[in-house]
Amino acid sequence: MKGKMKRYLVLEDGTVYQGQAFGAARVSVGELVFTTGMTGYQEAITDDSYAGQLLVFTNPLLGNYGVSLVDSEDLNSSCAGVVCRQLARVVDSWRSSETLDHFMQRQGIPGISGIDTRALTKKLRNAGTMQAELVDELPPTANVVDNLVRSEKKELLFRDNQIAPFMIPGSGFNVVLVDFGAKQSILRELIKRHCNIVVVPETATAEEILRFEPDGVLLSNGPGDPQDHPNAIKMIQEIQSKTVIFGICLGHQLFSLANGAKTYKMKFGHRGFNHPVIEIASQRSMFTSQNHGYAVAADSIDHSVLTETYVELNDQTVEGLRHKKYPAASVQFHPDASPGPHDAIDVFDDFIAMITSQQEEKIAKKK
């Protein structure tokens, strides 16, 4: 059986893990990262923020409730591969339409099971994320390591962005969603609030966005280094005085860069949905869903321009910002969760409230 075939995980430091193959039969190279979520493997695998990454699940059992189409964050997965301790032999869920193994075969994603993911996660916490490769036949380890070390470790952008803008009609405010790799759950939250949504690619210019006469602009999540998006940073600088802006994850980092702050690559990032965050103004704490390998440098923030609104309780990283002059704000975590706790779901209501306030101010000025 395919599940009994050997597969190897080779790290750039020379460590080799032997396990069993599942999913697609192909070689795959990517940045090896771990996520601490106990459920939500399908949402993670289809989250485009994991583009080009080999995803280690710390939860020991994967695939026990199968896969359901409605739980995907994107129809086409872009993660490089999946690493787990045990792949479930039996699927038990009335919602399931196929097994995780079959889903990953269709999506072209290779997987490896039988790995001591506890030891692997400890290694990544100590050494930091690193390049790795999934192979079915193990060539001389030195050759694999040499290729990994010499390979260009460039971060992947979401997609080629040749898609045309499209609309999801609604009866509420006009919201332009700039798609850097947006999760479907973000769209669902905007739809719940009756927004008329126009989705544009990450290459959209300020002129193109303002042509849609937005009441607000949402900068989505996505993969990679925020500094690889100079055009988006320029776009934000040009529109933030003209409309309401709200950034999520990568959108948060781009918003910070557009206003003079700096970002840095974290040792092993935040991935999972048990990250404690506190809202500074109210001192309200909450658990959040997160997926990022970069963060905003706290000491680079110009406090005459930006105010910190949220902070992560474990490592004190910046989790939220608000502009002091313009109606613009951002959060590092995923308020839409999916999966994870919905402690922060009202952040979307804050975005709508910012738009409402701006509309009221415009009406008042006309009187």
Establish whether 336 is a catalytic residue.
Answer: yes
User: Which amino acid would we find at residue 176?
Assistant: V
Q: Residue 244's Cα: distance from chain center in Å?
A: 22
Half-sphere exposure of 48 (CA within 13 A, CB side): 20
Predicted pLDDT at 151: 61
Both structure tokens of 171: 């009866």
Q: Is 253 labelled a binding residue?
A: yes
Half-sphere exposure of 187 (CA within 13 A, CB side): 17
Q: Is 222 labelled a binding residue?
A: yes
CA dist., res. 51 & res. 201, Å (int): 16
Q: Is 147 labelled a binding residue?
A: no
Cis peptide before 201 (omega within 30 of 0): no
CA dist., res. 173 & res. 57, Å (int): 39
Domains in the chain with CATH codes: 2-150 (3.50.30.20), 166-366 (3.40.50.880)
pLDDT tens digit at each of 367 positions of the chain = 444 799 999 999 999 999 999 999 999 999 999 999 889 999 999 999 999 999 999 999 999 999 998 899 998 888 999 999 999 999 999 999 999 999 999 999 999 999 999 999 999 999 999 999 999 998 776 667 777 766 654 444 445 445 779 999 999 999 999 999 999 999 999 999 999 999 999 999 999 999 999 999 999 999 999 999 999 999 999 999 999 999 999 999 999 999 999 999 999 999 998 899 999 999 999 999 999 999 999 999 999 999 999 999 999 999 999 999 999 999 999 999 888 889 999 999 999 999 999 999 888 887 6
**Rounded to whole angstroms, what are the CA distances from 123 to 11, 153, 167, 314?**
11, 20, 45, 19
- Are residues 74 and 46 in contact, defined by beta-carbon separation less than 8 angstroms? yes
Predicted pLDDT at 3: 45
Establish whether 323 is a catalytic residue.
Answer: no
> What is the spatial order of strands in the sheet that 244-248 belongs to?
166-168, 196-201, 174-179, 216-219, 244-248, 328-331, 318-323, 306-312, 263-279, 284-296
Predicted pLDDT at 164: 78
Q: Which residues contact 79 (CB under 8 A, 6 or more apart)?
A: 30, 44, 45, 47, 50, 51, 52, 53, 54, 55, 109
The number of beta carbons lying within 10 Å of the beta carbon of residue 13 is: 13
Predicted pLDDT at 149: 64
Q: Is 250 labelled a binding residue?
A: yes
Catalytic residue among 229, 252, 323, 334: 334
CA dist., res. 114 & res. 130, Å (int): 20
**Rounded to whole angstroms, what are the CA distances from 343 to 24, 110, 182, 339?**
36, 34, 20, 12
| Predicted TM-score of the model (pTM) | 0.94
Establish whether 334 is a catalytic residue.
Answer: yes
Cα dihedral 331, 333, 339, 344 sign: negative
* DSSP codes joined into one string, 291-323: EEEEEE-GGG--TTTEEEEEEETTT--EEEEEE
Q: Is 320 labelled a binding residue?
A: no
Catalytic residue among 47, 249, 252, 292: 249
- Are residues 73 and 79 in contact, defined by beta-carbon separation less than 8 angstroms? no
- Are residues 306 and 324 in contact, defined by beta-carbon separation less than 8 angstroms? yes
Q: What is the CA radius of gyration of the chain?
A: 21
Q: Which residue has the tokens 């710390």?
A: 58
Q: Is 41 labelled a binding residue?
A: no
